[in-house]
């Protein structure tokens, strides 16, 4: 009798364990779904409200974003792949969920999408939208030695890139350039400032986790970026 009870109890415990494992798996899936919903809400709130980040010690404004007006890809292309800064326009790319504003189209030449290899230097600010905090930056004198250098290749319309050195590579321990950082290269010029009236390319972007850096991908959070692109010597 004792043995029979032990066998039944063991079977019951095994079934209970299987159920708990199934429930845990479902909860994990639900958690990821909830994370994506939270990300969606955070992005929408950011679009509606914008953000201002201040340096508490100096009282300077580090980052300021007004409420955003976003436009469709169709309108973006119809107005020569530009965004109206006076209206704080951003174009939304349906395939990735990225929102992008071209602050400056830059100087020099565009990337040859059919076949090209270019080394670039980038300065940026990275704001964690879900965390409501400036997460990293290399755009000021303090981080001048952490300028991001990357090599970008384009072949038959596909753009890839890897970090040679810099803040992004150090922070996220990955040489892979996030897909989102490559999107603007289809629309801006990559050159160097030679004359006083020339300015290098600058964009602003809202980046969902799925096309962000490795930490954003694993922890499911969106980021806002302000990035400049300059051709390396």
What pLDDT is attached to residue 28?
52
| Assigned fold of 61-231 | Chitinase A; domain 3 (3.10.50)
Q: Helices H, strands E: what count in the chain?
A: 5, 13
Instruction: Please report the pLDDT score of residue 145 as a whole number.
Output: 78
pLDDT of residue 24: 44
Res 29: pLDDT = 63
Predicted confidence at residue 223, as pLDDT, reads 98
* Mean pLDDT of each 10-residue bin along the chain, 233 residues long: 38 44 49 95 98 87 97 98 98 98 96 97 97 93 86 97 96 97 98 87 98 97 98 92
């Amino acid at each position: 009798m004792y043995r029979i009870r032990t066998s039944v109890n063991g079977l019951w415990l095994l079934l209970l364990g299987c159920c708990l494992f199934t429930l845990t798996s479902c909860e994990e899936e639900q958690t990821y779904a909830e994370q994506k919903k939270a990300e969606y809400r955070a992005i929408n709130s950011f679009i509606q409200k914008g953000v201002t980040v201040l340096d508490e010690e100096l009282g300077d404004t580090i980052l300021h974003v007004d409420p955003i007006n976003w436009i469709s890809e169709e309108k973006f292309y119809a107005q020569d792949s530009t965004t109206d800064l006076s209206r704080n326009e951003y174009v939304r790319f349906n395939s990735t969920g990225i929102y992008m504003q071209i602050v400056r189209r830059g100087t020099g030449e565009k990337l040859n999408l059919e076949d090209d290899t270019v080394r670039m230097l980038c300065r940026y600010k990275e704001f964690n939208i879900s965390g409501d905090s400036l997460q990293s930056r290399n755009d000021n004198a303090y981080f001048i030695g952490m300028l991001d250098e990357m090599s970008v290749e384009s072949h038959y319309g596909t753009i890839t890139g890897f970090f040679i050195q810099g803040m992004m590579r150090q922070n996220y321990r990955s040489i892979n350039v996030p897909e989102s950082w490559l999107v603007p290269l289809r629309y801006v010029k990559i050159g160097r400032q030679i004359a006083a009236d020339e300015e290098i390319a600058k964009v602003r972007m809202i980046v969902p986790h799925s096309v962000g850096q490795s930490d954003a991908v694993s922890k499911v959070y969106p980021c806002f970026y302000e990035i400049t692109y300059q051709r390396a010597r």
